[in-house]
Amino acid sequence: MTAIRAGEGDEDRWERSRRIKWLDMEKVRSSSFLVVGAGALGNEVVKDLVLSGARNITLVDMDRVVRSNLNRCVFFREDDSAARRLKAEVVAERARELDPDVDIRTVVGRVEDLPEGSWGKHSMVLGCLDNVAARLHVNSFTYFNMVPYIDGGTSGHAGRVQVILPPSTPCLQCGLNRSHYRILEQRNSCTGTEMTYFQPKMAADITTTAMVAAVQVREALKVLSGRSDSIISNVLHFNGLHNTWEELELSRDPLCPLHRVDLG
């Protein structure tokens, strides 16, 4: 008979996670995550991934820390904003403090500049972006490479999460409306050297950000653990003022270029 020492389970960092019967910890540890965006959502998503056992993370972002980031970004400090440090590098540094065993690599630059061949190397992509054009870029490359993509977005007390599992689910482009296309047209028309496209700042709230990021990571864990029975199949919307979640149905758009081949 093997003696069990009191408190022995407390020495296992992942003991409580292993009690979740459906969670495939080995799959999570061996998977490669691409996180696009190191702002408020990116901070929370990386934190949740690391604390959930992820060991292989690539983080893409081109921006630097400013003081207005500090009210909703768990990894950023006053010194980071004063020094205008790169967001991706700060998040990676602080993530290693959470768990020294995590392998987190940074790509400082635009997501549009990632090599085409790099997308298929990842098990999962989590989008933490703040503009439509970059989201659509990620959407198209993940779909083409058959990589699951979990997109998150917030505005004040409102948030949304969409899980895209190519080729079976609707993609991000299937849900675009006329307002989105007007934004894209305006952005794409401002390409001259004398012109700059201005995108107004959005209201931001840490409680909304934390909840949306938590759902993104939980959906990622479910996808990797084979829980297709409980994955968001449409678009999940959060209303923080009323504390409600609504899953709104989204159909595949027959005119979406990513689905034309599938739909014949």
d(CA 33, CA 126): 8
Whole-number pLDDT of residue 261: 53
More confident residue, 195 or 89: 89
d(CA 47, CA 181): 33
Whole-number pLDDT of residue 140: 95
103: three-class secondary structure by DSSP: strand
Amino acid code (one letter) for 240: G
Query: Which of 14, 22, 8 lies closest to 224 in space, CA to CA?
Result: 22
User: With contact defined as beta carbons under 8 Å apart, do 150 and 127 qualify?
Assistant: yes
Percentage of the chain with pLDDT > 70?
86
Residue 14 has pLDDT above 70, yes or no: yes
Partners of residue 75 on adjacent β-strands: none
Confidence of residue 89 (pLDDT cuts 50, 70, 90): very high
Residue 15 has pLDDT above 90, yes or no: yes
Which range, 3-12, 211-220, 231-240, has the best average confidence (pLDDT)?
Answer: 211-220
Q: What is the DSSP string of 105-170?
A: EEEES-GGGS-GGGGGG-SEEEE--S-HHHHHHHHHHHHHTT--EEEEEEETTEEEEEEE-TTTS-
pTM of the predicted structure, to 2 decimals? 0.88
Percentage of the chain with pLDDT > 90?
73
Confidence of residue 6 (pLDDT cuts 50, 70, 90): low
| Other beta carbons within 10 Å of 71 | 11
Amino acid code (one letter) for 22: W
End-to-end alpha carbon distance in the chain:
63
At residue 86, φ and ψ (nearest 5 deg) are -70, 130
- In the sheet that holds 56-61, the strands lie side by side as 103-108, 56-61, 32-36, 124-127, 149-155, 158-164, 235-239, 244-248
DSSP type of residue 251: P
Domains of the chain in start order, with CATH, are: 17-263 (3.40.50.720)
d(CA 41, CA 47): 10
At residue 59, φ and ψ (nearest 5 deg) are -120, 125
Confidence of residue 176 (pLDDT cuts 50, 70, 90): confident
Whether the ω angle into residue 170 lies within 30 degrees of 0, i.e. cis, is: no
Amino acid code (one letter) for 238: F
Lowest mean pLDDT among 139-148, 155-164, 244-253: 244-253
Where is 35: in which H helix or E strand?
Answer: strand 32-36
Contacts of 229 (CB under 8 A, 6+ apart): none
Confidence of residue 200 (pLDDT cuts 50, 70, 90): low
Residue 181 has pLDDT above 50, yes or no: no
Q: In 38-88, which ranges are E strands?
A: 56-61
More confident residue, 132 or 183: 132
In the structure encoding, which two tokens stand for residue 203, read together?
């209201």
In the structure encoding, which two tokens stand for residue 38, read together?
């190191």
